[in-house]
A and B are shown apart, each in its own frame.
Chain A
């Protein structure tokens, strides 16, 4: 059974600071990892994906992956009030087809950026 764990929060961060969101997963065979942002009443939207150990940067966002520790994180630099949302960590079992293309989601971390 795949499990993805996140701290539900709320995580409160002052505007302009770095927000750090964490996620652990149970399936050691997991190959690909995603961070989705979900505003209240809206659908999830993909903001970052990562497949290899290390860091991946995209604008103000950095995803970090450590497969040995089964740990994924998302850093948001220069946090803005518009970043206030729930951030969902998602894990996919293995690359390619077969029965492993659906995502397993954590329950999300509610992030609040204080002006």
Chain B
């Protein structure tokens, strides 16, 4: 069975450009999480969805970031406009059920903003 799929795996863009990261969760999972990892701040939760509905977006750093989940098998994280400080690895994770259920992480998207 396929795991969490993320695309692109690497993205290099110039400051001010729009960036869209994509995630396909594991089939049947009803929770989807977006995390960001940097050396300075570690792994941080940005936003998560339950049954395609955003539940907690308190980790989204500012209005330049937005996330959507139009259906159970697809989510996007968009940054517009991008800035060099957005450079990080962005992980998508999914789980079946919340609470104590295991979250399965995708391979991540390494974003570099120059």
Residues of A at the B interface (CB closer than 8 Å) are 32, 42-46, 49, 51, 88, 92, 95-108
Instruction: Report the interface size class on chain B.
Output: 20 to 34
Q: Roughly how many angstroms separate A103 CA and B56 CA in the complex, as a whole number?
A: 12
Q: Give B28 Cβ to nearest chain A Cβ, in Å.
A: 17
B112 at the interface (CB under 8 A from A): no
A98 partner residues in chain B, CB cutoff 8 A: 55
| Contact in complex: A105, B105 (CB < 8 Å) | no
| Contact in complex: B55, A99 (CB < 8 Å) | yes
Which residue of chain A lies nearest to B95 when distances are taken between CB atoms in the complex?
A101
Known: A99-B56, A103-B103. A43 touches B108 (CB 8 A): yes
| Contact in complex: B45, A103 (CB < 8 Å) | yes
| Contact in complex: A102, B105 (CB < 8 Å) | no
Q: Which of B50, B91, B100 has its CB near the most chain A CB atoms (within 10 A)? A: B100
Q: Roughly how many angstroms separate A32 CA and B45 CA in the complex, as a whole number?
A: 16
Which residue of chain A lies nearest to B91 when distances are taken between CB atoms in the complex?
A43
| Contact in complex: B103, A46 (CB < 8 Å) | yes
B25 partner residues in chain A, CB cutoff 8 A: none
Residues of B at the A interface (CB closer than 8 Å) are 31, 33, 41-45, 48, 50, 55-56, 58-59, 91, 95, 98-100, 102-103, 105-108
Q: Give A88 Cβ to nearest chain B Cβ, in Å.
A: 7
Residue B44 contacts which of A95, A99, A105 (CB distance < 8 angstroms)? Answer: A105
Q: Roughly how many angstroms separate A100 CA and B100 CA in the complex, as a whole number?
A: 11
| Contact in complex: A104, B45 (CB < 8 Å) | yes
Known: A43-B105, A97-B99. A102 touches B91 (CB 8 A): no
A51 partner residues in chain B, CB cutoff 8 A: 100
| Contact in complex: A96, B99 (CB < 8 Å) | yes
Q: Roughly how many angstroms separate A42 CA and B91 CA in the complex, as a whole number?
A: 10
| Contact in complex: B42, A106 (CB < 8 Å) | yes
| Contact in complex: B43, A96 (CB < 8 Å) | no
23 contacts between A and B (CB under 8 A): A32-B99, A42-B107, A43-B106, A45-B105, A46-B102, A46-B103, A49-B100, A49-B102, A51-B100, A88-B42, A92-B100, A95-B99, A98-B55, A101-B33, A101-B48, A101-B50, A101-B56, A101-B95, A101-B99, A102-B45, A102-B48, A103-B45, A105-B44
